[in-house]
Amino acid sequence: MRGAGLHAEEDNTSAEHLLPQDVLSSFEVINVAAPMVRYSKLPFRQLVSRYEAHITHTPMLLAQEFSRSAIARDADFSTNGEERGTFTMSEARPASAAQELDPSPEARSKLFTGRKRRVRGNMIAQFAANDGTQLADAAELVKPWVDGIDLNCGCPQKWAYHEGIGCALLRKPELVAELVRTTKQRVGWDFPVSVKIRVDQDLQLTNQLVRTAITAGADWITVHGRTRHQSSSGYPVDLDAIAFAVSCAKGDVPVVANGDVFTWEEAEETRRRCGVKGVMSARGLLANPALFAGYEKTPIAALSEFVDIATDTGLIFPLFHRHMAYMLEAHLGKKRDRMYFNSLNSHAGVIDFLDDMGFSGASAPTGLQHDLERIL
């Protein structure tokens, strides 16, 4: 677990440091980068924070391993003073009934014309756990470096289900409540704890889980609009089910919607249809880290920025290569270019490829040639 000079970035010194739930409650448009196995590590979080991702997450961490092993902590968690963004955000102001019902961009924009405030972003550590003591131990260790933790109740992988974590908790509301309560009692009731869930085929069980988690002290709920049996590739997100979960919260805590957000327009549609404060994206951000800033595909400057961040943080090549492949997908129209890129086996090779293709990112803070010189 690494953390050097947290909160030391100059741009953050004049920004308000709000709790994540207060950010979600105070502003109408909140963009959230999802926890992603392998991918949502420090370099990617730092990149998306430059492009309007207000709240970011670590990959899912196993609370048992994290709390017991310094080696696991060092391998799985790192942060720095530059990864959180700083954002100028408009307070939400009360809308008329007519504005709420009008889906047009002109009407919607009138909801976001409140007082502007400069706000620092938030970073959340997500944990998988089924034991309150282990989750509290992990939260206590990571607390100085993060803005809150999230309890994963949504991982659908078979190994996680058999271990009694992730989706295995969806029909165990009392265990979820015990996990939240035990953690709060250990690290403080003012320390943010959220819960990320999937919807249930029986929506009354979703209602029971949401209400129980809130009663136990959860500060916000994130809802993925698929059941544990529905894959992201095989089933569309159920926005009506998310909207039902939002109604279950009864306004007691904010709710974040997750699922099938690949464009800014889809983010706005999700916000409108579900009545949520925040929208989370996973696969959409992998392909386009600037999605929330309104870009249709990864801007060239972001490619160069990611090279710079990855070089600074020592991101291992396989993960660096995979990230770049996702970001370049919309740029590489020719099969031979994609095949050649996939054959590359070094940071230097990727940087040369980007330069040869004209993706040198002249508008980015540092040039690719500089990064190549540092690697060599």
Q: How far apart are CA 223 and CA 125, in angstroms?
A: 17
- List C-alpha distances in Å: 100 to 38, 90, 172: 39, 17, 36
User: Would residue 167 show up in a list of annotated catalytic residues for this protein?
Assistant: no
What DSSP letter does each residue of 237-299 carry, written as one string? --HHHHHHHHHHHTTSS-EEEES---SHHHHHHHHHHHT-SEEEESHHHHH-TTGGGT-SS--
Catalytic-role residue among 153, 155, 167, 274: 155
Helix (H, G, I), strand (E, B) or coil at 323: helix
Bridge partner residues of 259 (DSSP): none
Nearest to 219 by CA among 9, 21, 63: 21
Which amino acid, residue 23?
Answer: V
Cα 103–chain centre separation: 26
Give catalytic residue positions: 155
